[in-house]
Amino acid sequence: MAVLVLAVLTIFYVLPRPTFSELERRDLTERPAWPSWASDSLQSGQYTESVSRWFSDTEPMREQLLQMSMLLNRYMGLKIGADDQVTFHAADQQSNDGADAEELGLMNEREIADYENRQNADEAAKIAGSGGIIICGQPGAVRAMSAYYGTKGGVTYAEVCNTYKRTFPGVNVYCMVIPTAVEFYCPNVAKKSTQSELSTIRNTYSLLDDSVKAVDIYTALGKHADEDIFLRTDHHWAPLGAYYAAERFARVAGVPYRPLSAYNREVVHGFVGTMYGYSHDISVKESPEDFVYYTPKDSSYETTYIVYTVNKAYRVTAEAAAQRGEFFGHFSDGSSAAYCVFMGGDSKITQVRTSVGNGRRVLILKDSFGNALAGYLFGSFEEVHVVDGRYFTKNMQEYVRENGITDILFCNNVFKVYRGGQNYLDFLTQKGWPYRGQNPATPTAISQAQ
């Protein structure tokens, strides 16, 4: 017993403690600074609680222990949560090929035909994790998808698009709602665990003013569902899916679009994305995939970034001066961050000047899904501007005017659309970066901002 106790003490007090969780894709709790004896946090017990959180969150070998736990759950049938490892068995389904929207003459981008899963409808499935992750597929090639719990929704988001059109009457405004993998690859037996994303897309488009152009990528993605248009181990779409979406947008916008043969095919092997951390299911880790992306072959362009410093609460704390950089990054095989190959991530404003001299300048207002789309438009627009809905410190009306924006594309996944997109409205009235040279967390800076 003494040896056992000594071993436990050695593990928890001597071995180094991790600072980042690869499984959960987050920074772990930092060790709190020692307070003074007269500190309120010490007297109230807040300090000891924070020490306890740090101690339990940063236990040595936590990743290995979590993986061991997942293996035991799989092989011994243990359950972490009430819904974990619930298995469904598929029933026989009759195939119905149907007709696609264009064959029916539904060229209005707001009239979207239903999609029927003909890829993996008969597969078994299970629910993993507390967030409702649907997992299906064979060992070594499983697919993990986030269940969608929205109803119709999209009311606020549609009004955001309408407001931008009223604010910028001379600018083309487009609305692209991006569905996720569950809409195309959810087995029939798991349909009761998710809601229809198409109902949200249809409702959003139906509420758009006639002057706002809806972009139906739902139909385009459905036509290519037998290709790798969504990542199996990540919540994002695959770059190939973004290619087909950008093609649809270019068609609606009336600009040229390059074929896939005009791009170099790049591959990051052994990619395992975010769904491993969301599901805590070892089968996802054991199903790595190729992350395939495309870079233009013969395209002259120049990329400029305004990079933000963001704290752990995802608040902007500093803004760097504009500087040139590479649009496409490079990641080694096995990197879980391969999706950041586009612009290096979200917390920046990106401006790309191309060799296209058509006078068209597009501003993409997006979430992380939009990162994969922008690079396909270098042969379509004279300039491509990319702004994330979470990080923008300028005044949008000034930005559109100063940069001569001719087209604004709202490009967000259906989860974001369902939540509304209020930030985009704030961009129209905010006074711009208010914290220059200061810490926005301080009362002085906050009062000045107000």
Model confidence pLDDT, tens digit, residues 243-252: 999 999 999 9
Q: What is the pLDDT of residues 184-234, one digit of tens each?
A: 999 999 999 999 999 999 999 999 999 999 999 999 999 999 999 999 999
With helix as H, strand as E and coil as C, how does 394-436 read? CCHHHHHHHCCCCEEEEEEEHHHHHHCCHHHHHHHHCCCCCCC
pLDDT at 4: 86
The rounded distance, in Å, linking the Cα atoms of 142 and 129 is 15
In one letter, which amino acid is 373?
A: L
The rounded distance, in Å, linking the Cα atoms of 418 and 431 is 27
What number is the average pLDDT over the span 98-115?
56
Q: What is the pLDDT of residues 385-396, one digit of tens each?
A: 999 999 999 999
Q: Which residue from 201, 163, 213, 158 is spatially nearest to 426, judged by alpha carbons?
A: 163
The rounded distance, in Å, linking the Cα atoms of 169 and 290 is 43
In one letter, which amino acid is 102?
A: E
The rounded distance, in Å, linking the Cα atoms of 267 and 437 is 41
The rounded distance, in Å, linking the Cα atoms of 416 and 150 is 11
pLDDT > 60? residue 98: no
CB 12 within 8 A of CB 60: yes
In one letter, which amino acid is 290?
A: D
Which carries the bigger pLDDT value, residue 105 or residue 348? Answer: 348
For residue 334, the 8-state DSSP code is T
The rounded distance, in Å, linking the Cα atoms of 305 and 69 is 43
pLDDT at 26: 56
pLDDT at 54: 65
For residue 214, the 8-state DSSP code is E
β-strand 361-366 against 407-413: which pairing, if any?
A: parallel
CB 224 within 8 A of CB 177: no
pLDDT > 90? residue 113: no
What is the token pair recorded at 418?
């369902």
CA distances from 96 to 116, 119, 136 (A): 8, 12, 22
User: Percentage of the chain surpassing pLDDT 90?
Assistant: 63
Which carries the bigger pLDDT value, residue 366 or residue 30? Answer: 366
Q: What is the pLDDT of residues 261-288, one digit of tens each?
A: 999 999 999 999 999 988 888 999 999 9
For residue 230, the 8-state DSSP code is B
CA distances from 261 to 221, 240, 258, 297 (A): 19, 12, 8, 9
The rounded distance, in Å, linking the Cα atoms of 32 and 34 is 6
Helix pair angle (422-429, 155-167), 10° resolution: 30
User: Percentage of the chain surpassing pLDDT 70?
Assistant: 79
In one letter, which amino acid is 284?
A: V
The rounded distance, in Å, linking the Cα atoms of 251 and 272 is 33
Helix pair angle (197-206, 155-167), 10° resolution: 30
4-13, 155-164, 244-253, 374-383: range with lowest mean pLDDT: 4-13
pLDDT > 70? residue 436: no
Q: What is the pLDDT of residues 409-418, one digit of tens each?
A: 999 999 999 9
Q: What is the pLDDT of residues 26-65, one digit of tens each?
A: 567 777 777 665 566 666 677 777 777 666 666 776 656 6
pLDDT at 299: 77
DSSP count for the chain of H helices, then E strands: 16, 17
At 20, the pLDDT band (50, 70, 90 cuts) reads low
Using the structure block, give the residue that is written with the tokens 């994002």: 236
The rounded distance, in Å, linking the Cα atoms of 253 and 212 is 11
Cα-Cα-Cα-Cα torsion 390, 393, 397, 399, nearest 10 degrees, comes to -100
The rounded distance, in Å, linking the Cα atoms of 82 and 209 is 44
The rounded distance, in Å, linking the Cα atoms of 39 and 24 is 33
What is the token pair recorded at 69?
């736990």
pLDDT at 255: 98
CB 146 within 8 A of CB 279: no
The rounded distance, in Å, linking the Cα atoms of 233 and 330 is 19
In one letter, which amino acid is 114?
A: D
> Alpha carbon 58 to chain centroid distance?
27
Q: Which residues contact 29 (CB under 8 A, 6 or more apart)?
A: 50, 53, 54, 57, 58
What is the token pair recorded at 26?
């987050």
Which carries the bigger pLDDT value, residue 401 or residue 96? Answer: 401
pLDDT at 41: 63
pLDDT > 50? residue 109: yes
- Residues paired with residue 202 on neighbouring β-strands, in sequence order: none
How much of the chain is helix, strand and coil, in % rounded to 5?
35, 20, 45
Q: What is the pLDDT of residues 304-358, one digit of tens each?
A: 999 999 888 888 989 999 999 999 999 999 999 999 999 999 999 999 999 999 9
pLDDT > 70? residue 296: yes
Is the pTM for the entire model greater than 0.85?
A: no
62-71, 133-142, 149-158, 356-365: range with lowest mean pLDDT: 62-71
At 446, the pLDDT band (50, 70, 90 cuts) reads very low
